[in-house]
Amino acid sequence: MTDSSTPTITIATRKSPLALWQAETIRNALLQLHPHIAVELLPMSTLGDKILDAPLAKVGGKGLFVKELEAALLDGRADIAVHSTKDVPMALPEGLTLGVICEREDPLDALVLPLAPDGSAPNITSLDDLPIGAIVGTSSLRRQCQLQQLRPDIKCESLRGNVNTRLAKLDEGKYDAIILAAAGLRRLGFADRISYAIKPQHLLPAVAQGALSIELRSNDAATQALLQPLHHFDSALCVLAERAMNYRLQGGCQVPIAGFAELGADNSIRLEGRVGAIDGSELLIEQHQITFDVGSHNDAQCIAQAEQLGETIADRLLARGARVLLDQAYDNQ
């Protein structure tokens, strides 16, 4: 953040409609909290936005969506970057930190069917309602693996591009259905396109799915102070537990890993993790729950316990052979 009579915060963001929506949301929240500051956007094209003809797993993973934004933070062109946390690699560049994890939106995956001839969006009540041999668009190995476990007859085909592009491909008849994050659809005003919200027991979400986070320079205490009211402690506990599991597994979007944590009314946190074979032939599932005091929203001990929970789930998965499945996935790249 620059020092001037009117402090200015510059937000690095991708140019996709969803990324711009996310950045504008943070901009508006900051202006509401701090009317005396100015907030500007720095839209950028990332390598992940430019390479659309190959699955992410083949070209380097979701880190391709953040590298350019992080470069802008490090060289001072931007003060913060707003991310879908599921796109943020576990290891951040030296000098950067995820200073804020915002309140989590709907974490589930959504099945979307083509529009009916009358323009309405069909609804179904189960994945079993898809026809035999249905072609489902998704480039996520996590989704593909779990879908193959549930419906071995389904054919998964690659699907890239922003949300609008993916919906257009679906409505053009290229797929019988596609799977997108429910949060992205809701944020862009496409909630009515959700044909079926897939239950987590059937399709466990990606680590940190539905949560926005804000990355900034580690030594920028002034900006961190302005951002702090946007931090949501309960969401952070869940997200950090999931990310700790993913970090222990050395995971990324190149391998079929799923993780989802929830807080209970009894001050408990429950985490489920899954690792699968890329062909869907095997799916390892582990879950565990701990109870702690979440009353203090600055309790480092709670965060440490949540991260330990993630490491415990990862260790259990590794003990059951997860490393073999993960190595097979990397070898298949």
Which residue among the candidates 49, 79, 87, 106 is catalytic per the annotation? Answer: 87
The token duo for 3 is: 């020092």
Nearest to 327 by CA among 275, 286, 285: 275
Q: How many residues does the chain have?
A: 333
d(CA 314, CA 321): 11
* 254: amino acid identity, one letter: Q
Which burial class, exposed, middle or buried, applies to 239 when counting CB atoms under 10 A from its CB (0-12, 13-18, 19+)? buried
For 110, residues 6+ apart whose C-beta sits below 8 A from its C-beta are 179, 180, 181, 182, 185, 193, 194, 195, 196, 197, 198
Q: Burial, 46: exposed, middle or buried (Cβ in 10 Å; 0-12, 13-18, 19+)?
A: buried
3-class DSSP state of 62: helix
Q: How far apart are CA 190 and CA 221, in angstroms?
A: 37
* Alpha-carbon Rg for the chain in angstroms: 20
Which residues, other chains included, contact 97 with Cβ-Cβ below 8 Å and sequence gap of 6+?
215, 216, 217, 218
Rounded to the nearest angstrom, the gap between the alpha carbon of residue 62 and the centroid of all alpha carbons in its chain is 10
Q: Quick check: is 87 catalytic?
A: yes
Burial (CB count within 10 angstroms: exposed 0-12, middle 13-18, buried 19+), residue 252: buried
- Residue positions annotated with a catalytic role: 87
